Homo-oligomer: A and B are copies of this chain.
């Protein structure tokens, strides 16, 4: 899967702010991407700020290739997805990063694929969008649809990372508890209810239904049941010891 990620290039066209370029480097690495091309970055860009914001992704910044035109950055790419926020003529054909992600991965198995982002203030122009094989529109609220540059890069890298299936959740450390184990636990809690006088004998069945409902609302692992069982057992022991003392 690494080789596939190596085939995905992020292209920033005329970026203005060094801080954004640095934040893009970090966002790329968060999604497993390392190939960055900078097309005619602003001569005023603050490269110290870029290094600071790149944090541990400063290698991506150092290895970024610099070219004069978007065409130079896309020459060896078989697909290029240009991002656009403005509605309009050809922009109606845009897909979302989530829709594009599986296609990007499929294409990147054998080809280089580019994700293309315009300058912070104006985005990609029509000539630049025409060079792209795909248009991406990032879903966002009507409240404020314009994304920060590094957030736009991040969500594209994130969707590709998610689509790759590379993320392995740690999962529960133990399996789900079996009914037999749960029933032993409930039996002890029923004793606690009786022993502590929490409920009259004729009400205990009803209260136990409540407790079963509460404990059945989510998953219960082996570990969870061991904790609940231990707590009930210890409670019974403490109650009986106290009663023993009082009676002595």
Contact = CB atoms under 8 A, between A and B. Distances in A.
Q: How many copies does the complex hold?
A: 2
Interface stretch (A27-35, A64-72, A177-185, A238-246): A27-35
A57 B151 CA distance: 15
A1 B94 CA distance: 25
A99 to B, nearest CB: 9
Interface string A196-229: 0000000000000000000000000000000000
Given A144-B26, A150-B151, A173 B92 contact: yes
B29 A169 contact: no
A10 interface: no
Interface residues of A, number: 45
Contacts of A26: 144, 147-148, 151
Given A150-B151, A151-B150, A151-B151, A145 B30 contact: yes
A154 interface: yes
Interface in A8-41: 19, 23, 26-27, 29-32, 34
Interface string A151-167: 10011001001100011
A93 interface: yes
B158 A30 contact: no
Contacts of A94: 169-170
Given A29-B144, A30-B144, 18 more contacts: A26-B144, A26-B147, A26-B151, A29-B141, A30-B140, A30-B146, A31-B140, A32-B143, A55-B146, A57-B144, A91-B170, A93-B172, A96-B169, A140-B167, A148-B150, A150-B151, A151-B154, A154-B154
Q: Closest 4 CB pairs between A and B?
A: A139-B167, A32-B141, A29-B144, A92-B170
